[in-house]
Amino acid sequence: MCKQYDRVTLLLQGGGALGSYQAGVYEGLHQAGIEINSIAGISIGALNTCIIAGNKPKNRVAALRGFWDTITRRNYTSGSINPFDAMLDGLSAWGKNDALAHTMPYVFENQFLRQQLRLMESYFEAFQTMMEGQKGFFKPRYFMPFNTTPNHLSYYTIDKLKDTLAEFADLRLINDASRMRVSVGAVNVRTGNYAVFTNEHEELRFEHFMASGALPPGFPAVEIDGEYYWDGGLVSNTPLNEIILADESLNQLIFQVDLWNANGMLPENLLEIDERVKDIQYSSRTRMITTLMRQRQHYMSMVKQLLAMIPEKNSCASCVAEAEAMAEVGQKNVIHLIYRKQSYERGHKDYEFSANTMQDHWQSGLYDMNNTLRHEDWFARPPAGEIFTTHNIHEERKKFSQNWDWRQSSADAD
């Protein structure tokens, strides 16, 4: 079914430590034998883009694993120094002793206790990240100059990130546009304009990917050809708009991987407010752009129908030709995968880089992708007359749950 499309595209959103979810999604695509020929990313999605595009298909999952294993290590202390993780390991080890387990089930079978320990472990790891940074990614500046260029104004330095990207990605493969279209988004600090860097128009360097993830004031701006750039998520946290506009006439299958979910619970304290602000800030733009693109595609289809009704076109041939070119709109099928947070995660989830949490994110992405692949009909070209369709495994689960509740209630009533 994927071969029915002119282009199979992977879009990777920003979200910091949540980015290993995208790696799990890609592993699911790889296991299914789905080959992508276009990829675009922003922020942490740009770093994953670098690793995927910078390797041959057979090496990509291993390269992603190596990259994430590297950046989930602390700069100065061992990851094993976490008292709450040690307590969880102790509960699991001692719980295998039948005598203890049967004597004190309120301890060894207490899921609330395990949940609270996992929550404290996550808080501890996020605090360690703030204090130490992550190996091969970023570390704190212990001396911050007051007045200097933007590439030195930040709480952390990302000097080692370039070496890490070079270890796991090959720029020659990244810049082979005939093999894969690669693009990343960033913001020009001076003009405030959104910039898209693509291997079709320029030679990409590691600085382009680093610039896309340079979120201020944590990370410094990255200089590219005399201009300074910040994280593209400051303007738009999804590259969907750029992908559709760049290849409007093509029929595309698009896997859009988002790391923030706009739907959530009402906050009950200040910490939960911080989390909800991030969710809304970075996810609402994705929904807005998706809605706008669907509307725009529909308008272009209407223009095409109206052009067919014009009886005499000679008097305005140039105008008609321009309109006809604009109205050549291909079908877009968007498979939407949205990360759903773990029960122990709070507002620090985007900078909690522990290895345990990375594994949870990765497995969640793989699980969601495998469940999406069960819906084979989603991958077919949209029906004639439809030019923009979306599918979301979580919405499908929600519908199923609602239908199940209705049947269960009916059965109970009977």
- Is 360 a known active-site residue? no
DSSP-derived 3-state class of residue 343? coil
Query: E strand or H helix at 173, and its extent?
Result: helix 171-174
Cis peptide before 217, with omega less than 30 degrees from 0? yes
Among 148, 237, 146, 137, CA closest to 187: 237
Which residues are CB-contacts of 295 (< 8 A; sequence separation ≥ 6)? Answer: none
In DSSP notation, 68-89 reads HHHHTSBSSS-TT--HHHHHHH
Among 38, 43, 212, 236, the active-site one is 43
Structure tokens at 224: 């590219």
* Angle at CA of residue 191, ends 187 and 196, nearest 5°: 35
Q: Which residue among the candidates 85, 231, 350, 368 is catalytic per the annotation?
A: 231
Map 345-400 to HEC letters: CCCCHHHCCCHHHHHHHHHHHHHHHHHHHCCHHHHCCCCCCCCEEEEEHHHHHHHH
Give the number of other Cβ atoms within 10 Å of residue 106's Cβ.
Answer: 8
Instruction: Extract the tokens encoding 297.
Output: 């595609």
* 8 Å CB contact between 13 and 286: yes
- Tell me, yes or no, if 43 is annotated catalytic: yes
Q: Find all residues with CB under 8 Å of 265, minimum gap 6, and list them.
A: 272
Active-site annotation, residues: 43, 231
